[in-house]
Structure 1
Amino acid sequence: MLDSGQHVKMQRSMGEARVTFDGARLGQLRQIGSAKAQLPRISGRPEVVFLNTSGGLTSGDRLDYSVSLSNAAQVTATTQTAERAYRANDGAARVRVSHDVGEGCWLDWLPQETILFNDSDVARDTHVALAPDAGCLLLESVVLGRAAMGEDVCRLNLRDRRKITRAGTPVFLEPLVLDTATLAHGGQSAILRGARAFATLVLCAQGAEDAVGAARSALNHDAVEGAASADDGKLVVRLLAADGWPLRQQILSLLHVLRRGTPPPRVWQM
């Protein structure tokens, strides 16, 4: 039996999944630990589905997802289900997402939502590196607990850094810090205004600003507050909602417009 003052070292989850495409052909598939990548058989654009077999994130966990595209490859990458971040009492869980989109290539990075529970601690870094003529659609969505279960999340630590570069030059950079002190002032207009679900979509490509009108027209869900802005090859849409379900429905409407009618990833339809 352990003494009351003795520290128990918990098992940690480590995982790395890397996928490369040369045109429509699969190049490399690398999987280590709890991170896996599935490639469902579908017609049209290839899909990569990442998953974390550990079932969630907590202190000390490490996940690394990566897609690398060349030779005009066009790929959609997503996650099998929502990622859940649970109580962390010994440091942050760390997630690194690093995608390399080569010349003439296109990547839709459309992970399903991250659900944060009380006392979760997550540090995530997402970087999409574009070649000069490449393009991408990036989505990140976060839900604070489960409204249907009556969960009220008021203690957490999230550091979520998102970056898109083109030929090494940053074109989108968003460092997000959400912690217990921030949530205590969540009713303020400059923060979440009481919302418990939020998302950002970024379309980065030549002529992306031309889609701003269509994106604004798609912001038609009464339970979601949204706004779209665009400039110089970049369209950014931000969303706030009281719960994850209406947020998801609004995201699907936007994806239909921004992907020109292409169906969402198959796992999104389950």
Structure 2
Amino acid sequence: MFDTGATAIRMQRSQGAAHVVMGPRGLIDLAQRGSAKAMLPRMTAGLPEIVFLNTSGGLASGDRLSFAVDLRAGTRALATTQTAERAYRATGAPARATVALNVGAGGWLDWLPQETILYDDARLERDTAVDLAPGAGCLLLEMLVLGRLAMGERPTRLHLRDRRVVRREGRVIHHDALALDDDALARLSGPALTGGAPALATLAMIADDAPDRLAAARAVLDEPGVTAAASAPPGRLIIRLLAADGWPLRRQINRLLRVLRPDPLPRIWQV
């Protein structure tokens, strides 16, 4: 007799970690394993670039992904991702992603990852931690797209916990968290959430002189199809953006980056 009883299928899980250490003269150390890779393309202009890649093609239930950058004193660099990250439908535990960024004294890091696309019923928990030494600063970007918009997908089920914490000498100076679940998605059109916009982003500059750039940022917040606002609490410039599609959101972010930083946009980006 054949056994027709249900058999639990153990799904293969993706795990990856990539860690880059850089000094003023370039790469000091590179460690990578599993699905996480880091590339350092040769640059002729602008900041040295670190490009992270998740070779698994996306994040599914139970996956683990870790990116880390350590900049020594006086080092300036840009870190980004090769393509948009995708969080797929999950049937079990959430995928977990961590980003650890350390910037030494007098250093600067632009953390400009490409967007994260959240499929219907995705489950993702992500923590981004930034540690700044005295005199260091950073520019942090986070872009989220809810659903495969080109296919008309709008998620009705979702579990997202996305947190960004910046510390200077161990003291928290910036904390930004977003939580979305099924109930929140049902109320997404409300003014307290996104007004129905499925593409959203936050751009945060952390530096003593960041508030001085407020006027320049507000002057370019006029991309059609994008709603945006900027504020400048002490030592920070915070810009939040909403759009009906990822492309106008990206165009608006590109314009902001051009006025906020002197360097070229990430070479890997499609602009």
What TM-score comes out, normalization by structure 1 length? 0.97
Paired residue total:
269
The percentage of aligned residue pairs carrying the same residue is 54
In the TM superposition, residue 196 of structure 1 has moved relative to its aligned partner by 0.2
Residue in structure 2 matching 1:116, options 109, 115, 118: 118
Residue 20 of structure 2 corresponds to which residue in structure 1?
A: 19
Residue 233 of structure 2 corresponds to which residue in structure 1?
A: 231
Residue 173 of structure 1 corresponds to which residue in structure 2?
A: 175
8 Å Cα contact 1:198/1:238 also seen in 2: yes
Residue in structure 1 matching 2:129, options 109, 123, 127: 127
Q: Which amino acid aligns with 1:21?
A: M
Which runs of no fewer than 5 residues in structure 1 stay unpaired? none
Give matches, 1:235-246, under 5 Å.
235-246=237-248
1:61 and 2:63 matched: yes
In the TM superposition, residue 4 of structure 1 has moved relative to its aligned partner by 5.3
SS in 2 for 1:250: helix
Pick which of 85-94 and 145-154 moved more: 145-154
> Judging changes above 3 Å, is the alpha-carbon distance between structure 1 residues 125 and 4 closer, same or farther for their aligned structure 2 residues?
farther
Which runs of no fewer than 5 residues in structure 2 stay unpaired? none
Residue 31 of structure 2 corresponds to which residue in structure 1?
A: 30
RMSD between superposed Cα atoms in Å: 1.2
What whole-Å deviation, never above 9, does each CA across 1:89-117 have from its counterpart, x for those lacking one? 01100000000001010000000000000
Q: Which amino acid aligns with 2:197?
A: A
Q: Which amino acid aligns with 1:190?
A: A
In the TM superposition, residue 155 of structure 1 has moved relative to its aligned partner by 1.0
SS in 1 for 2:238: strand
Residue 11 of structure 2 corresponds to which residue in structure 1?
A: 10
Residue 89 of structure 1 corresponds to which residue in structure 2?
A: 91
Give matches, 1:209-228, under 5 Å.
209-228=211-230
Q: Distance in 2 between matches of 1:213 and 1:2?
A: 71
SS in 2 for 1:266: coil
8 Å Cα contact 2:73/2:103 also seen in 1: no
In the TM superposition, residue 24 of structure 1 has moved relative to its aligned partner by 3.0
Q: Which aligned runs of 4 or more in structure 1 are off by greater than 4 angstroms?
A: 1-4
8 Å Cα contact 1:24/1:74 also seen in 2: no
SS in 2 for 1:188: coil
In the TM superposition, residue 2 of structure 1 has moved relative to its aligned partner by 7.7
In the TM superposition, residue 206 of structure 1 has moved relative to its aligned partner by 1.5
Q: Distance in 1 between matches of 2:247 and 2:151?
A: 13
